[in-house]
């Protein structure tokens, strides 16, 4: 029973420290990364996704529709979701660094390929996050575990005295 309490308290401490591990690189502003005679491709790079905006050069109208746009990173198709006038490109499984992005847009009866090189932010490992914070999270975790262990030792019941 005590071990279960200790494990649940340790889980709570780890859950409180989890936001430190989720710290990621700041996001970039929306910038033009590719264009053609008929289209302009803007992108905003976030830690786990790229937000794409595709507009026509004449009239600056957005290209919309889930089936009108597909994408690939380094030649591998990636999930793309239409959300209003934007397209969300999932990059959770793509390593940080420079990659070739190809966006295929179907419009006006043709298919255009817009290519660009995008640099995805490198994700910090849990160890790197702890190093960045001066191992403060490790110290907090160690102190909590030691206090719990001391409490368990102090609460331990003495065995009943044997009759002599």
Count the domains in the chain: 2
More confident residue, 133 or 45: 45
Q: Would you say residue 162 lies in a domain?
A: no
* pLDDT tens-digit map of 100-147: 999 999 888 889 999 999 988 877 666 666 666 666 777 788 888 999
The domain in which residue 87 lies consists of 31-120
DSSP letters, the chain, are -HHHHHHHHHHHHHHHHHHHHT--PPPPPPEEEEE-SSEEEEEEE-SSEEEEEEEETTTTPBP--GGGEEEEETTEE--EEEETTEEEEE-TTS-SEEEEEEEEEEETTEEEEEEEEEEEPPPPPHHHHHHHTTTHHHHHHHHHHHHHHHHHHHHPPPPPPPP-
**pLDDT bucket at 156, cuts 50 / 70 / 90:** confident
Same domain (yes/no): 7, 72: no
Same domain (yes/no): 85, 134: no
Same domain (yes/no): 70, 143: no
Average pLDDT taken over every residue of the chain: 79
For the cut 50, the answer to whether the pLDDT of residue 43 exceeds it is: yes
Same domain (yes/no): 129, 114: no
């Amino acid at each position: 029973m005590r071990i279960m309490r200790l494990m649940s308290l340790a889980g709570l401490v780890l859950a409180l420290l989890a936001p430190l591990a989720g710290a990621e690189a700041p996001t970039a502003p929306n910038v033009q990364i590719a264009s053609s005679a008929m289209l302009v491709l803007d992108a905003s790079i976030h830690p786990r996704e790229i937000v794409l905006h595709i507009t026509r050069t004449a009239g600056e109208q957005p290209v919309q529709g889930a089936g009108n746009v597909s994408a690939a990173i380094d030649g591998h198709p990636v999930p793309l979701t239409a959300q209003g006038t934007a397209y969300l490109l999932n990059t959770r499984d793509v390593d940080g660094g420079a990659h070739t992005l190809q966006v295929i847009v179907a419009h006006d009866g043709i298919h255009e390929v817009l290519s660009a090189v995008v640099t995805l932010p490198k994700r910090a490992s849990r160890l790197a996050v702890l190093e960045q914070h001066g191992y403060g999270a490790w110290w907090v975790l160690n102190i909590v575990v030691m206090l719990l262990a001391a409490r368990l030792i102090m609460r331990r019941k003495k065995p009943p005295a044997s009759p002599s």
